Amino acid sequence: MVWKISTLVALATVLPLTLGTSVPPSSSSFQQVCSKIQRAVSSASAVYYPGSANYTADNAHWVESSDQASACTVEPGTAADVSIILQLLGSTKTPFGVKGGGHITNVGFSSTTGVQIAMTRFSSVIYNQKAQTADIGPGLIWDEVYAALEPHGVIVAGGRVSGVGVAGFTLGGGYNWLTNQIGLTLDTVSAFELVKPNGQIVTVTATSNPDIFFGLRGGFNNFGIVTKFTLKTFKRGNVWGGVIGYGSDQAPAVQAAIARFATTNTDPKAQIIPACNFMNGSLQIDNIMYYDGPTPAPGVFDDLLSIPNVFNNVSTRSFLAVVQAAAIPAGARGAFHVATVLEFTPTIVGAILNETTFWGKKLANDGAFLISYNIEPFLPNIYSHGAPSAYPPVRNAGYLPINLNFAWTPAKSDTIFQTALKESAQQLTNVAVHTGQAVSQAPLYTNYALADTPLQRMYGNNLPRLRTIKAQVDPNNVMGLAGGFKF
Ligand SMILES: Cc1cc2nc3c(=O)[nH]c(=O)nc-3n(C[C@H](O)[C@H](O)[C@H](O)COP(=O)(O)OP(=O)(O)OC[C@H]3O[C@@H](n4cnc5c(N)ncnc54)[C@H](O)[C@@H]3O)c2cc1C
Ligand SMILES: *[C@@H]1O[C@H](CO)[C@@H](O)[C@H](O)[C@H]1NC(C)=O
Ligand SMILES: *[C@@H]1O[C@H](CO)[C@@H](O)[C@H](O)[C@H]1NC(C)=O
Ligand SMILES: *[C@@H]1O[C@H](CO)[C@@H](O)[C@H](O)[C@H]1NC(C)=O
Ligand SMILES: *[C@@H]1O[C@H](CO)[C@@H](O)[C@H](O)[C@H]1NC(C)=O
């Protein structure tokens, strides 16, 4: 968040002056590290400085508010170079960022004023037909992965809308279009190639390194830098999906239909993500629908399809085309947050619609671009498909995320919107609790949570084990030089 930038600036400039020493400003020591990296890495990798197109691309994020101006960027091309870079950063205690698809909305999580590592050159997709897995580079976005696998007639269970990165998505959890059937994306990982903080390159599986395997699934960059994901593949031809939009005049009917789907659907192939959006002074509900086959089972979506819509681009098409039918507009500045419920009752859906309009109107004068609430109904057994992992901390209850997505224009409104996100998530939690849902301390999803969310709320009772593993894998806290949720 913004106060992090000012803290870094304060440390870099004020401290040396106050102490009256000749300590060089950090930016020049960062430059020395950049040069060292440049000399040490192989020709597969490259270092970039301000003014180059690569530098700009390496620091860029889905929302500009997640960008920081790094001293330099480095695009490693091999795991061996990642190892060299990590050891140099650790020994010089240089702050760094690790960026996959750059979609995180917390500033400093995949950005830095030190050395920015952009994983963009890790861009290969190798399909292993025999094992029914794919080796996937952490520099890719899901669209690229689906496109590479399509000729083989397989998919992996990744992002549901266009543009999202493989790395952060998988390392944080990954709610996907097959979640009702197979759980989170992290439940489909069979191996990680990991560069540990000491520079060692290891293949992490459930049997080779059970502790790190547990920790990486939900633990982001706490244990090192992932240079390869091996994910399960699934045979798929055409599927059915797309987006249908409703005007505010249909809100009562849509509210009822969403709640009915959420509380009565039992077909694991059917999933929806209704988004309640307030944009340009009015409410619109855009519902992304997915059926895991070319034709939905009779009746599943009838309610939602029969309500008069303002547009409907749902059809039978490739998996990639379904994902690309839905792109979420990024504002200049933006942040996600999350509330967790156990059931999307009509009361909860009504409260979400009320929040959408309430904050849409209230924040209009502060430069709101989009006020959006994504409702994510799944079947109650979605966490039963995987082995214990850092996230979710509880696998025997069907916790469901509501993703709050606020976007705005002026930087001076950052605190206003972040405070509103927290108030609104709390309001939704209160409504759920008052209507009998035991969610006051329910786990919050790592990939949606605001930067200052307490670790306990995301990792729960897993936290002591995660801290023990962290101390073993990274005794010098090298990964503490990179931002994010830290164990
Ligand atoms: C438009 C949009 C749609 C989304 N849809 C979904 C969805 O359907 N389901 C869902 O679950 N989430 C969804 N998300 C949330 C998404 O999962 C997170 O934003 C995720 O972190 C993005 O991954 P990334 O690689 O793009 O992010 P980045 O910003 O690049 O990275 C996020 C975090 O992962 C760390 N990291 C990145 N690469 C590595 C690596 N190689 N090794 C170690 N650590 C690394 C970074 O340091 C950072 O802390 C969505 C987000 C957006 C903006
Ligand atoms: C970075 O540089 C390489 C090699 O010079 C180039 O091929 C690539 O397209 C650049 N990447 C970006 C993101 O600009
Ligand atoms: C909102 O308004 C702006 C400017 O008035 C316009 O460019 C944009 O297309 C509108 N968006 C929607 C979703 O109507
Ligand atoms: C479907 O509708 C959404 C919302 O208007 C739009 O963003 C998207 O481009 C459309 N996709 C197709 C394939 O028409
Ligand atoms: C609508 O939301 C606001 C803000 O959270 C809240 O104060 C108000 O009581 C809500 N109204 C209804 C009818 O739920």
Closest ligand to C-alpha of residue 355 is: 5
Q: Does position 5 have pLDDT exceeding 70, yes or no? A: no
CA of 334 from ligand 5 middle (Å) equals 23
Of 162, 284, 313, 372, the residue with max ligand 4 atoms within 8 A of its CB, to mutate for a pocket test, comes to 313
What is the torsion angle, in degrees rounded to the nearest 10, for the CA atoms of residue 59, residue 61, residue 65 and residue 71?
A: -10
> Closest Cα to atom 5, ligand 3: which residue?
280
CATH 3.40.50.720 corresponds to the domain 27-118: no
Lowest mean pLDDT among 11-25, 60-74, 188-202, 465-479: 11-25
Tell me the CA–centroid distance for residue 277 and ligand 5, in Å: 17
As a whole number, mean pLDDT of residues 127-154 equals 98
So what's the pLDDT on residue 439?
A: 98
Domain definitions of the chain by residue range: 27-118, 125-236+460-477, 239-456
70 vs 56: CA distance, rounded Å: 10
Residue-level pLDDT at 331: 82
CB 315 within 8 A of CB 301: no
What proportion of the chain, given as a percentage, has pLDDT over 70?
95
Whether 121 has a pLDDT exceeding 80, the answer reads yes
For 248: left if phi > 0, alpha if psi spans -120 to 50, otherwise beta; the answer is alpha
| CB 47, CB 117: distance < 8 Å | no
pLDDT mean across residues, the chain = 94
Neighbouring residues of 464: CB distance < 8 A, sequence distance ≥ 6: none
Assigned token pair, 251: 């809100």
Architecture of the 239-456 domain? 3-Layer(aba) Sandwich (3.40)
User: Which of 54, 55, 119 to mutate to test ligand 2, by most ligand atoms within 8 A of the CB atom?
Assistant: 54
> Given the DSSP bridges, would you call strands 400-408 and 333-341 parallel, antiparallel or unpaired?
antiparallel
Helix (H) or strand (E) holding 46, with range, is: strand 46-48
Mean pLDDT on 240-255: 98
Report the pLDDT value the prediction gives residue 6, as an integer from 0 to 100: 30
Query: Residue 22's pLDDT is what?
Result: 42
Q: What pLDDT, on the 0 to 100 scale, is given for residue 187?
A: 98
Q: 11-61 pLDDT, tens per residue?
A: 333 333 333 344 444 678 999 999 999 999 999 999 999 999 999 999 999
| Ligand 2 center–CA 72 separation, angstroms | 15
Q: How far away, in angstroms, is 314 Cα from ligand 1 center? A: 26
Average pLDDT over residues 429-456: 98
Give the chain's length: 487
Alpha-carbon dihedral angle through residues 225, 230, 234, 235, given to the nearest 10 degrees: 120
**Among the listed residues 184, 234, 218, the one whose alpha carbon sits nearest the alpha carbon of residue 398:** 184
pTM across the whole model: 0.94
Q: Is the pLDDT of residue 10 over 70?
A: no
Tally of CB atoms within 10 A around 92: 16
Q: Give the integer Cα–Cα distance in Å for 352 and 360.
A: 12
d(CA 336, CA 180): 23
**CB of residue 339 inside a 6 A radius of ligand 5:** no
Are the C-beta atoms of residues 206 and 387 closer than 8 Å to each other?
A: yes
**CA nearest neighbour of 263 among 382, 380, 435, 181:** 380
Same fold, 27-118 and 239-456: no
Distance between Cα 325 and ligand 4 center (Å): 5
Spatial neighbors of 255 by CB under 8 A, at least 6 apart, are 346, 349, 350, 353
As beta bridge partners, residue 340 has: 401
Q: Which of 354, 377, 170, 168 is nearest to 288 (CA)?
A: 377
For 36, phi and psi rounded to 5 degrees? -60, -45
CATH number at 125-236+460-477: 3.30.465.10
What band does 348 get if pLDDT is binned at 50, 70 and 90? Answer: very high
Q: Per-residue confidence at 329, pLDDT binned at 50, 70, 90?
A: confident
